Amino acid sequence: MVQASAPGKCILFGEHAVVYGQPAVAVAIDQRMNVGIETSEEWRIDGMRFHPERHPHVEALKQRLWEDGPPLSIKIFGEIPPASGLGSSAALSVAASAALRCARGRQLIDDDWAEGWTAARPNNVYEGPWEFVMGDSLEVGAKAVDVDECAILSHAVEAVAQGGKASPLDSSTCSHGGCIVLSDKVESDLNWLYSRNLNDVSWEVHSIDLNIPDDVWLVVGSTGIHAPTSQQVAKVASVLEENPDRMREIETIGIISRRGIDALMKGDMEGVGRAMSENHLLLRSLGVSCSELEALITAAAPSSLGVKLTGAGGGGCMIALTRNPKETSEAIELAGGRTLISRLASPGMRVDNDENCPIWEPK
């Protein structure tokens, strides 16, 4: 079985403000999604018949990478809870793109790519149709897999699954791993990776080299409440519409995010924690916290360097930066949350098994 995996993510700074052009910072977490594939008599996911409408990400990837290929049996397993703002669907898409590319290999002409998608090539992955160009040789297995291609494919299929709207924050973080910063402009102090465009919106995607001491952890606490991101984004939009002066709060979140980035690069964990807690106060004032999130945040605060909601809010998850992960996690659980413990900035997409590749070659 060909197998690949990708990490989940959480947002450290800048959610909601990123919708208005401010920078957002996400880190990959230790919890991963794994995808295994092998050829089969008919299309199956986890032993059940494959229904494209139940698995829109897999269906959209199938169209881009496996158009004429034989049926596959796909196994999906992992530790990232779904629909909680931790990037489970992006991690699934990244791992599935890696597994599919690994399994079919990549056509080359004169050692250069004859097919595939990267930032350096015409970016038609969002539109199609996709032509498979036959090359004079075939790169196979893990060597055929490209981290940027996984990010771009994952962004494209997230957009399909979400009705045309998706920022590249999840797809880039789950693919590259580490720490990713999204902004509406190139940030001169950061490592610029590429631009992404979708439906007239464009983003500049950067990575940053972190300097994180070994004794610092993230504890993610889930409220178990599912609040759709679109509702929370609409809530902030209506706050700003009623009172345009409150755009200052959005700008302040941007200033705090930049301070957070500085502290992350210097390894100043107290500074990172302070910026997180300040970011949370602004999110709360914009109306995207809720009593369940506040209960978990209050419980985690005494043992943490910083605490905030992460992602869209209204439910979902909070995060605590802490040197006492056990104590912080117990406090959150006592207050009714489910917890995960992670390092900051875990490794990105990985091919875990590429034996017997390619498992199928286009004719």
Q: Cα 318 vs. chain centroid, distance in angstroms?
A: 16
The strand order across the sheet containing 338-342 reads 306-310, 317-322, 217-222, 338-342
34 near 76, Cβ under 8 Å?
yes
Closer CB to ligand PMV, 38 or 187, in the complex: 187
**Cα 114 from chain centroid (whole Å):** 28
Name which position in 233, 239, 295, 335 contacts ligand PMV (CB under 6 A): 233
Q: How many chain residues bind ligand PMV (CB under 6 A)?
A: 13
Q: Spell out the residues 6+ positions from residue 214 whose beta carbon is closer than 8 angstroms to its own.
A: none
Q: Applying CB under 6 A, does 138 fall inside the site for ligand PMV?
A: no
Which residue's Cβ has the minimum distance to ligand PMV?
Answer: 311
DSSP 177-224: BSEEEEESS--TTSEEEEEEEETTEEEEEEE------TT-EEEEEE--
The least distance separating ligand PMV from the CB of residue 148, rounded to whole angstroms, comes to 21
Asked if 339 and 220 count as a contact pair (C-beta separation under 8 A), the reply is yes
Residue 362 Cβ, how far from ligand PMV at the closest point, in Å?
35
8 vs 36, beta carbon nearer ligand PMV: 8
Nearer to ligand PMV, 92 or 351 (CB): 92
Radius of gyration of the chain (CA): 21
Nearer to ligand PMV, 11 or 256 (CB): 11
- Could you say which of 5, 93, 207, 229 contacts ligand PMV (CB under 6 A)? 229
Site string for ligand PMV, 296-335 (x = CB under 6 A): ---------------xx---x-------------------
| Buried residues in 225-258 as b, exposed as e (16+ CB within 10 A) | eebebeebbebbeebbeeeeeeeebbebbbebbb
Stretch that binds ligand PMV, among 107-115, 189-197, 227-235, 241-249 (CB under 6 A): 227-235
Query: What would the two tokens of residue 146 be?
Result: 């490209």
Q: Rule CB under 6 A: is residue 18 a binding residue for ligand PMV?
A: yes
Choose between 229 and 289: whose C-beta lies nearer to ligand PMV: 229
**Does residue number 196 form part of the binding site for ligand PMV (CB under 6 A)?**
no
CB nearer ligand PMV, residue 210 or residue 233: 233
What are the CA-CA distances from residue 220 to residues 9, 48, 83, 317, 337 (Å)?
11, 32, 14, 7, 9
Binding flag, residue 19, ligand PMV (CB under 6 A)? yes
Nearest to 10 by CA among 90, 75, 73, 127: 90
Query: Could you write out the DSSP letters of every residue in 256-291?
Result: HHHHHHHHHHHT-HHHHHHHHHHHHHHHHHTT---H
3-state secondary structure of 316: coil
Give the separation between CA 116 and CA 130, rounded to whole angstroms.
9
From the list 8, 36, 78, 85, which residue makes contact with ligand PMV (rule: CB under 6 A)?
Answer: 85
d(CA 347, CA 95): 13
Region of 16-24, 27-35, 104-112, 348-356 interacting with ligand PMV (CB under 6 A): 16-24
- Binding part of the chain for ligand PMV, among 35-43, 124-132, 151-159, 229-237 by CB under 6 A, reads 229-237
Shorter beta-carbon distance to ligand PMV: residue 145 or 160: 160
Which residue in the set 154, 167, 183, 289 belongs to the binding site for ligand PMV (CB under 6 A)?
167
2, 15, 282, 307: residue in contact with ligand PMV (rule CB under 6 A): 15
Q: Tokens 């494919």 appear where?
A: 153
Rule CB under 6 A: is residue 239 a binding residue for ligand PMV?
no
- Nearer to ligand PMV by C-beta: 279 or 303? 279
Residues at the interface with ligand PMV (CB under 6 A)? 11, 15-16, 18-19, 85, 167, 229, 232-233, 311-312, 316
